[in-house]
Structure 1
Amino acid sequence: MSIRRIAMWSGPRNLSTAMMRSFSSRPDTAVSDEPFYAAYLARSGVVHPMQDEVLASQTQDPHQVAADLLGPVPGNKSIWYQKHMAHHMIEGVPLDWMDNVTNVFLLRSPERVLASYAQKREHVTLRDIGFAEQAMLFDRVADRLGHAPTVVDSEDVRRDPRGTLGALCKAVQIPFIEAMLSWPKGQHPDDGVWAPHWYGAIFNSTSFAPPDDNPTTLPDHLRGIADQARPFYERMAAHRQ
């Protein structure tokens, strides 16, 4: 059986869980939720909500995580969708396994990311939202491929789920199916243990929400972070589907 492993690189508050829900609705697809999270917390010293629960829920050895991601696919499925946070890939976390998966980059404007993230954590830094790290991984993949990898913008998904997901599926060489457009309400068995803190809106959803076209207003300290993140976002967004 031909196996397709899709590593979806994102930052927090970036439609990443809704995209995981979309792929989990496919009968041919297994999903994994941020498998490097515990390794990141253990190595970085950063303290997140539900810290102890996250550390206890996954292996903290990033080399073991990488090996597992290239191992047998859960449930013997033909597609393995792996949801990753770019900022988890700190020094000491291997990157060579990325050469054996299909890497896709999921974007959202830094202003909207920050407006959402600040509702969940009081103190925010540029590193917390992962744009610089995402751009570093993007460059690594582009250098290996000789061209830009697939880029998807979350606002495009929300504005035209069928068309954007169809283009994504074509890019990663899998068929689009209608089941990707909806999912059951509530928690999913493959959600990380941290889901109750971060995934409240997803628990109450059954499909992609329409885009929010209202302008985003940020306080000055968050505006400064958005300004730092924007060049990374724009460079990757130039290659969006």
Structure 2
Amino acid sequence: MTVQEVPSLRLSIVVPVKNEIANIAPLIAEIETACAGVAPFEIVYVDDGSTDGTAEELARLAATRPHLRVLHHDRSCGQSIAVRSGVLAARAPVVATLDGDGQNDPVFIPDMVATLLNGPADAGLVQGQRVGRKDSGFKRTQSRIANRVRRWILRDATRDTGCGLKVFYRDVYLALPFFKALHRFMPALVTREGRAVLLLDVVDRPRLTGTSNYGFFDRLWVGIVDLVGVRWLIARRGAIPIVVEDKNAC
């Protein structure tokens, strides 16, 4: 997919979402308020195979918001593919991502954009790092262990790559080797490309409504395999480039 950038657009905000019907309108309103100072912007929602009326709610809201664009997957492909679909469709040179459950507060997006644009010339990514986590004790322990193992293996100097709040240059993202857990390893892979990763603390909050679509054991074993794969990619930097076909599908 080739998308022509719109010169007037400063920012594309990509939100992957699955079965979050009750969170959509409140989060869009928050994004609009928080990002008014970085307008003009667009919001790109990617409906990842929702079955709860999310598609209909997005269509209703988009009818009165020209800056809201909606993409649909005909089945659930996972968060990384949903993010990639949104970035491929984005029309601004700078992209922000955040989760669709409301735990990522969009009020931090303008500071993250400014940090990227005013950062060093080689800056490629601003990674949010959550403080005051509002998840359950079990989930916080799970994340703490996973982050420690990841830092030990990848040496990426980032304590919280799982935070959905990220701001990056679109072309930097599209140069990364793609796989289904890319969003969790972006700092290491952006560094692999010779670009600087900047860190910004963001305050976590409870999800607005509903329950998480992600489980511990779904990610545990896949995460171990992905860690090994990313470590290999870093070690093999400079080998034959990985070519990924641009498809809005699994």
More strand by share: 2
Q: Which has the higher contact order (CA 8 A, sep 6+)?
A: 1
More helix by share: 1
